[in-house]
Amino acid sequence: MRLAVIVPVYKVEPYLRQCVDSILSQSYQDMKVILVDDGSPDSCGAICDEYAEQDSRVLTLHKANGGQSSARNLALQHIDDCPFVTFLDSDDWLVPEIYQQGVNYLVDHPEVSMVNYGYNLVTEEKTIPLIPEEERLTREEALLRYVATTSNIINTMVWSRLYRREALQGLTFTEGCKWEDVVYAFEALYQSRGAYHILPLAGVNYRSKRPGAMTSEILPDKRALFLDIEMAIRRHPDDASFLALANTLATNCLWYYLKYLATFSYPVATREMKLYLPIIKELRSRPYLDAFHSASKVRKVRLFLSYPRAFFAARTFVRSLLSRK
């Protein structure tokens, strides 16, 4: 059963061959490897063409530069002949056998919609394996784990899963948003109908902080993320369950970001925090789910929603005292 592997490609010439070779050398061979040259100014486009000429499983698409989301969206138009789909970033590479393991599980367990696996976090200094315990979750359990935003495994990284194509039907990545994976992975999980299984394996070598990689600024403007979640809510206007989950996701994302923001100097942090007050007001008017299963943490989030200025002022004050010790 054919597996579509979607790889957006842009300015990764030193890493591209390692990435593609790791796909083509997988023991699972029934694949459609979709390489999308996103207007890369280096030799990436030519390298993609070379692979397509050498291996009939490779489809190379060329387009003007539009970002990772637009590259993935173009590839998604070419997956109709593949019952399974996954993603891989072009500066990362696979662990041998992972696709065989994932596809075998989906074939043997038709009640499962997604298979998740861990990864190796690769820096210039060391490799840190993040290998989960094997676990079977219902769709509802996986959704709550996702919107809690606390899991290293059930997270926004779309390349850490194999999906049944039906879970992705009709979905596209939001173009122009740096955090496009957040909503895409959430909607895929929401519209899936089966269980969610976690394999106790590392499947991807994730290259962290490589030279030349796009990195978020120290204080990123995350309002685009919350707009993306808001647009998702509008796509489900009469779905109370989706509203509650999406609002919980947005609330937890913002709570953790403002906790990070509170580590900066009070004038800077306060100036940035004010940008998010209208968003907090909207979040406060909607349902919030207990995704943490921790009464104390839920109380803290509700306090944050009700009194964001006081919460923020107290947190920055405590941080400033601790920094003086």
The overall average pLDDT reported for the chain is 93
What's the average model confidence in pLDDT over 49-76? 98
Tell me if the domain spanning 3-207 has CATH number 3.90.550.10: yes
More confident residue, 304 or 67: 67
Token duo for residue 48: 């993609």
At 19-34, the pLDDT tens digits run 999 999 999 999 999 9
Mean pLDDT of 54-62: 98
Q: Give me the mean pLDDT over the 296-325 stretch.
A: 79
- Three-state DSSP string of the chain: CCEEEEEEECCCHHHHHHHHHHHHCCCCCCEEEEEEEECCCCCHHHHHHHHHHHCCCEEEEEECCCCHHHHHHHHHCCCCCCCEEEECCCCCEECCCHHHHHHHHHHHCCCEEEEEEEEEEECCCCEEEECCCCEEECHHHHHHHHHHCCCCCCCCCHHHEEEEHHHHCCCCCCCCCCCHHHHHHHHHHHHCCCEEEEEEEEEEEEECCCCCCCCCCCCCCCHHHHHHHHHHHHCCCCCHHHHHHHHHHHHHHHHHHHHHHCCCCHHHHHHHHHHHHHHHHHHHCCCCCCCCCCHHHHHHHHHHHHCHHHHHHHHHHHHHHHHHC
Q: Is the pLDDT of residue 266 over 80?
A: no
Residue 275: the pLDDT is 94
Report, as an integer, the average pLDDT of 127-139: 97
What is the pTM for the complete model shown? 0.93
Q: What is the per-residue pLDDT for 53? A: 98
**Percentage of residues in the chain having pLDDT higher than 70:** 95
State the pLDDT at residue 213: 54
In this predicted structure, the answer to whether residue 277 has a pLDDT above a threshold of 60 is yes
Has residue 325 got a pLDDT over 70? no
The domain segmentation of the chain, as residue ranges, is 3-207, 223-324
Poorest-pLDDT segment among 63-67, 272-276, 319-323? 319-323
